[in-house]
C-alpha cells in the first residue's frame, strides 16, 4: 500500500466511525469527539486526495474539514461564554 492510500484509508475510517457512532446514538454531533473525528478524518482524506491530484475529493473533503473546524470554533466559543 502506498502512502496516499494509507492516509486516505485512515481518514475515511475515522469519518465512518464517527458516522456510525452518531447514527447509533453512541455520541452526539455536539460532542467534541465527533467534531474532532470529522476534522481529522476529512483533513487526512483531503490530504490523500491532494497527493493523488483528485480535485473532486479535494473540494469535498476540504469543505467537510472547514465546516467541521467552524463547528469546533463555535463549540469552543460557546463553552467559553458559558463559563
C-alpha distances in Å from residue 24, one per residue of 58, 63, 66, 76:
28, 25, 25, 25
Does residue 29 sit in helix, strand or coil? coil
- Residue 1 grid coordinates: 500500500
| More confident call, 82 vs 52 | 52
42-62 confidence digits (pLDDT tens): 999 999 999 999 999 999 999
Backbone conformation region of residue 53, classed left if phi is above 0, alpha if psi is from -120 to 50, else beta: left
Give the CB-side neighbour count of residue 59, counting CA atoms within 13 A: 2
pLDDT tens-digit series, residues 12-47:
999 999 999 999 999 999 999 999 999 999 999 999
pTM for the whole thing? 0.93
Amino acid at each position: 500500500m502506498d502512502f496516499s492510500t494509507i492516509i486516505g484509508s485512515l481518514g475515511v475510517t475515522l469519518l465512518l466511525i464517527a458516522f456510525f457512532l452518531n447514527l447509533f446514538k453512541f455520541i452526539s454531533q455536539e460532542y467534541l469527539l465527533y467534531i474532532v473525528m470529522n476534522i481529522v478524518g476529512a483533513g487526512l482524506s483531503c490530504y490523500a486526495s491532494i497527493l493523488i491530484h483528485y480535485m473532486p475529493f479535494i473540494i469535498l473533503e476540504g469543505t467537510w474539514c472547514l465546516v467541521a473546524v467552524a463547528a469546533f470554533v463555535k463549540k469552543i466559543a460557546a463553552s467559553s461564554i458559558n463559563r
